[in-house]
Amino acid sequence: MNLFFWSCNISFAASLGIWADYERTGQENEPSSGPLLVVANHQSNMDPPIVARSISRRTLFPAKRELFKIRLANLLLRMWGSFPLTRGEPDANAYRKILSTLGEPNGCVTLFPEGTRSQGSMREAQSGPAMIALRTGVTVLPIGITGTKELNGIVRALYPIGTIRVQIGRPFRVVDGGVGRKEAVNGATVEIMGRISELLPESFRGVYSAAAGADRKFTEDLPNA
């Protein structure tokens, strides 16, 4: 399974090199070891392979359950590192999978807090990533992606034409801020999205424009490792 993931990663990197103006910054911010929760904005079906290309970890991705109904797609997605998630309602199996992976010494999961693709600017996020980060205490790595909005459909992995920019931010962790769990999760959700929005041009920040650079109570920076 790891071989399939890295083979896909290398092939996609080659496609980016041929067709796209792709650039990533902030690689030095990625922790070299330890469990890692990656969070990013979401504009395209190509965002998961973009994230996989942009970090050095083998990361897992939840994907909407409907994609797994086709036998071949189910096989390939699972080999690549995806697992099914029921959107719009609690999914105990996906939650356990995420916690299990983050419980491994170097386990890595990537989540897109918006839950679905946004139309240009960021939309309101779901609270799941903040809940997971607060419960596990793992390091969180924010990533901002631009230029993928028009890259939809798996075929576009073969010719991802466009100007794609990936900025990796500073690692941090979520804390409770000395308040109740619900307030902490809500506050951490805003701060997580604010950290992502700081990595994007102002026109992409949407509902989290004010959260960029705001005071933080529920997240704290960690040193780069």
Q: Is the pLDDT at 87 greater than 90, yes or no?
A: no
- Closest to 39 measured CA to CA, from 91, 100, 98: 98
Name the one residue in this structure whose structure tokens are 């973009």: 50
- More confident site: 224 or 54: 54
Describe the chain by its helix, strand, coil percentages, rounded to 5: 40, 20, 40
Structure-token pair, residue 53: 């290309």
Give the confidence band of 167 by pLDDT, cuts at 50, 70, 90. Answer: very high
Per-residue confidence (pLDDT) for residue 70, from 0 to 100: 84
pLDDT level of residue 157 (50, 70, 90 thresholds): low
